[in-house]
Structure 1
Amino acid sequence: MPKVVNMAERKDFVEEINKALAKSEGFTLKDLLFSYQGTPYPVTVCSAETFQALENLEARRDDLVLVSYPKCGVNWLIQILNDLIFTTTQSKYVSAELPFIECGDPDKYQRIKQIPSPRILATHLNYDRLPKSIFENKAKILVLFRNPKDTAVSFFHFHKNAPSFPSYSSWDEFFSEFMNGKVIWGSYFDHAVTWNKHIEDENIMVVTYEDLKENLTSSVKQIAEFFGFPSTAEQIQSVADRATFQVVKEKAQETHGPVGPILFRKGVVGDWKNLFTEAQNQEMDAKFNACLGGTKLGAMLKYDVYCKV
């Protein structure tokens, strides 16, 4: 059984987040990024040594693996999963580690061996960058996607609002870097194309941010069934009631410290309309069609519904 959460661990977790952000003070964007196997990552939380050690992560069959490109709502999904664990087992744990497996020091993979099952392993990595043990041990992988226009806008605001985090001089500059895959964790479209190839693999399920917003109860039920949580309809509903974006946002300071309101900023669908120019709309539309037009993931993202004026 997972251990009961204690406030010391919650405090440690918040401190880890604050430490990571504090490390970026005085950095320029150029200084912030380092490249590993061709993809840019932030030096404040990632290192080549950690990526090398990540290969040794020992996944378990009952690990709950959560994948998303940055700013697609994975912190929200982590909250939902934590609540599902608590609701179905009446106990939960909070790890003091940074929630993403590629973030932290190289020794973290030894420490997370001590975390009882079920562990939540979150990541922004592509399919082919995940530790092989995840596939060898047949851990289930839940992949979260969000429409690319809102993802880009949310990513821009994160850079702009996070304390001490280097920002872009303008939305136009960020948009250009986003479209060229030069932002941290690389290209949204490369990420999407790679995961689309595995969308029908056994042990992989894809959910969208937009579905979570529109059909939260139904989405929570799907997630619970996918991970095998023995939950009743009443339990599913109670988790969904506590997991609306508004409720999670209101508690963000308590759960994530000062960075909480930045991680859970607006949570709306269609915020891209406040920043995109017509030329940027056309560029993104063309890129989406070239990369995901006619694909299963492309259909799931309902681009014409969420990304057209």
Structure 2
Amino acid sequence: MNSFSAKIQSKMELARRMKDEDKLYRYNGVLYPVVMSPEENLKALEDLDARPDDIMLVAYPKCGFNWMVAVLRKILTAGTGQKAESRIPPLIEFYGPEMIEPLAQAPSPRFLGTHMHPDNIPTSFSVNKTKMLVIFRNPKDTVVSFYHFSNKNPVLPSAESWDRFFSDFMTGEVPWGSYFDHALAWEKRLNDPNVMIVTYEELKQDLSGGVRRVSEFFGFSLDANTIDTIAEESTFRAMKESSRDSHGQMGNVFFRKGEVGDWKNHFSHAQSEQMDTVFESHLGGTKLGAQLNYEVHCKW
């Protein structure tokens, strides 16, 4: 995996030298970053054989993926006794064909993750009944975080303006596709016992409770003191302070504010009303919509 880490760093440097218009491409109708998820990577995933005991984390971009990566690594360490630290995000779409065989030889439990739409995740995860933890965040804070992330991450094209990025987000013309398409697809799987959905806002409100529920979902029985310790070490502030060690120079890119309600500093009233309308048309009356508690977190 050391060579994989070096390859990631090399790709980041390559991205810094690329023109913005060359950084994205479309695969099966969805935009992906050319440098980190080339077509050969996505095709190679068809041969990825999931295991029932894999730890799979799924999130639309900027919904708390990197935060939950850190939490899950601590849970894995406490539950298995094996240290699970790495600076490399476990995104399977970053794995090239050369990684499939080493991954097949890796001991269990393997920690994997993705930003991909559930219909594009390799079918072996469903066939083999791999447990998947899905984290969602209210769409208004998500688009704001995604906007700043795009401006700071060399792998992605810089957003031309907030208004332009907001428009692209609403039409799904952003990397990894439409937030609402992702949400609707997971809404259909809410009754799957191998799928657990948590929200960013729930974790902010009660991180200890979230750590306990996630641990139990993956079959780890952790005592109360261990759960509280993991939660204390995994607050957003703690993660941001330690991000230099965990994520190197990208620490401030992955961990910006971590606030609920920062959208009010960016949205116009017209944009807020547009998002309200789209949310209601897609997720109004759904279980996931209710879990996101939109009325509390996304209304002026």
TM bin, normalised by shorter chain, reads over 0.9
Unaligned runs of 5+ in 2: none
Unaligned runs of 5+ in 1: 1-8
RMSD: 1.7
Deviations 1:278-307 (A, max 9, x none): 110011000000100000000000000000
Alignment of 1:1-309 (within 5 A): 15-94=6-85, 98-163=89-154, 165-309=156-300
Deviations 1:58-105 (A, max 9, x none): 111110111100011111101001001112232223467652011132
SS in 1 for 2:222: coil
SS in 1 for 2:47: coil
CA contact (8 A) 1:54 1:102 kept: yes
User: Separation in 1 of the partners of 2:156 and 2:129?
Assistant: 37
Q: Structure 1 residues 158, 97: CA separation in 2 closer, same or farther (over 3 Å shift)? A: closer
How far off is 1:265 after superposition?
A: 0.8
TM-score, normalised with respect to structure 2: 0.95
CA contact (8 A) 1:16 1:98 kept: no
CA contact (8 A) 2:57 2:134 kept: yes
SS in 1 for 2:75: helix
User: Separation in 2 of the partners of 1:66 and 1:152?
Assistant: 20
Aligned length: 300
SS in 2 for 1:297: helix
User: Separation in 1 of the partners of 2:26 and 2:60?
Assistant: 17
SS in 1 for 2:15: coil
How far off is 1:206 after superposition?
A: 0.3
CA contact (8 A) 1:14 1:256 kept: no
How far off is 1:250 after superposition?
A: 0.4
SS in 2 for 1:144: strand
Q: Structure 1 residues 41, 111: CA separation in 2 closer, same or farther (over 3 Å shift)? A: same
User: Separation in 2 of the partners of 1:28 and 1:180?
Assistant: 23
How far off is 1:27 after superposition?
A: 3.1
User: Separation in 2 of the partners of 1:163 and 1:41?
Assistant: 14
Letter in 2 for 1:85: L
CA contact (8 A) 1:64 1:140 kept: yes
Q: Structure 1 residues 109, 98: CA separation in 2 closer, same or farther (over 3 Å shift)? A: farther
Moved more, 161-170 or 292-301: 161-170
TM-score, normalised with respect to structure 1: 0.92
Moved more, 11-20 or 205-214: 11-20
User: Separation in 2 of the partners of 1:276 and 1:18?
Assistant: 34
User: Separation in 1 of the partners of 2:254 and 2:10?
Assistant: 15
Letter in 2 for 1:229: F
| Aligned sequence identity (%) | 47
User: Separation in 2 of the partners of 1:115 and 1:282?
Assistant: 48
